[in-house]
Amino acid sequence: MKIHSTHAKKDLHEIIEVFQLYEVGEYKTLPKYALVPKLEAIIADREFIPEDNKNFYIKDLKDLKDYLKNPTTRQITSNSVRYDVTDRVRNLIFYGKDCGYDVGMSNYGSHGEVISDATFVSNYGDLPAARRALRFYNLDPKAPTPIQPVMTRRVGRRVAEVAKQKEANHLSLTSEKGEFILDFS
């Protein structure tokens, strides 16, 4: 098994900690080129790893090997792309929140520019700001179709878990009509 080069050193550290692969030694001080062969050897010798349903959603050793063989699913962006995405996100939020979906008051010249920015931002769904901007865009009455953010499986599951927790913690008051007798004794 060979670990794909797109996995960051930080990801490899997290894998060591989650799956308790501490036989690597002082993994935090090792450079990536020294860490990868040690980690490959340890995983090749292993017969079992604990299931992870919190971080990587990996069931067994075969899933871990497949995950490490393939390119990382994280959305890696350069600084210039990140600045471009941030600028477009700000414009979309300004268009929806402050301008009330009026193209004339916003930084856009036409509704086509709004749609193109929304489709560009949708490719960076791992960023919370991008998801927020798309929520504003999807509330636009002039939007032809809703645009969903493209998220990695890991982030998608975390977002779903947070939504589930919010729903479970949501307290509500229900009222019923009728006559009731209250006894305070």
Q: What's the mean pLDDT in 90-115?
A: 92
Phi then psi for residue 140, to 5 deg, are -65, 125
Encode pLDDT of 13-55 as tens digits. 888 888 888 888 888 888 989 889 998 998 888 888 888 877 7
Q: Is 174 helix (H, G, I), strand (E, B) or coil?
A: coil
**pLDDT, tens digit, 9 for 90 and up, residues 45-97:** 888 888 887 777 788 888 888 888 888 777 667 788 889 999 999 999 999 99
Q: Residue 57's pLDDT is what?
A: 78
Determine the average pLDDT of the residues in 139-165: 88
Kindly tell me the sign of the dihedral angle through the C-alpha atoms of 112, 145, 95, 89. negative
Report residue 59 as tokens. 């069931």
Closest residue by Cα to residue 89 from 57, 45, 135:
135
